Amino acid sequence: METNRLILDTSAYSLFMMGNLQIKEALQSAEEVFLTPIILGELLAGFVMGNKEKKNRALLDDFLDSSRVTVLHIDEETSERYSAIVFHLRAQGTPIPTNDLWIAASAMQHGLKVLTSDSHFLKVPQILTLLIEN
């Protein structure tokens, strides 16, 4: 039986907070949802630059308090996956943003499907991507 384990990209989290139904349904059907320190850093940077930092931090804290949500660690194995993805994408001439390389490496390492609205994740053959149109 295949499990439904997702890594939630920053773009998908933002769409979820804006009420996107596809993201909401994907998250409701997920057995487990994962984020990384990279995703948290992107979110927090966005909060600091916005005008609703306190509210957005509180909403994120509530989200992270769910028993189905886990923040993954980045370790040496993640770094190995990162290097393999970077090598492949550069050889193909299809680089993607650095933070998304780390997210893809974590997805690859843990066998997670990336939930995102960023189509450049589709360039990474080492991962599965659930692309949501925004």
Q: Which of 111, 22, 115, 110 is nearest to 72 (CA)?
A: 110
Quote the mean pLDDT of the chain: 95
For residue 107, the model assigns a pLDDT of 97
Distance CA 24, CA 30 (A): 10
* Cβ-Cβ contacts under 8 Å for 133 (sequence gap 6 or more): 22, 117
Q: Is the pLDDT of residue 132 over 80?
A: yes
For residue 3, the model assigns a pLDDT of 62
Q: Is the pLDDT of residue 121 over 50?
A: yes
Domains contained in the chain, number: 1
Report residue 130's pLDDT band, with 50, 70 and 90 as the boundaries: very high
Distance CA 129, CA 7 (A): 9
Q: Can you read off the two tokens belonging to residue 133?
A: 């149109």
Determine whether 36 is exposed, middle or buried from the number of CB atoms within 10 Å of its CB (0-12, 13-18, 19+): buried
State the CB neighbour count (10 A cutoff) for residue 78.
Answer: 19
Is this model's pTM higher than 0.85 or not? yes
Cα torsion 53, 55, 57, 58 to 10°: value is 160
For residue 133, the model assigns a pLDDT of 84
Q: Which domain covers residue 118, as residue numbers? A: 5-131
Q: What is the domain-level CATH number for residue 51? A: 3.40.50.1010
Angle between helical axes of 53-64 and 37-49 (0-180°, round to 10): 160
What average pLDDT does range 97-121 have in this prediction? 96
What average pLDDT does range 7-17 have in this prediction? 96
For residue 71, the model assigns a pLDDT of 98
For residue 2, the model assigns a pLDDT of 54
What average pLDDT does range 123-129 have in this prediction? 94
pLDDT digits (tens, 9 = 90+) for 53-82: 999 999 999 999 999 999 999 999 999 999
* Cβ-Cβ contacts under 8 Å for 61 (sequence gap 6 or more): none
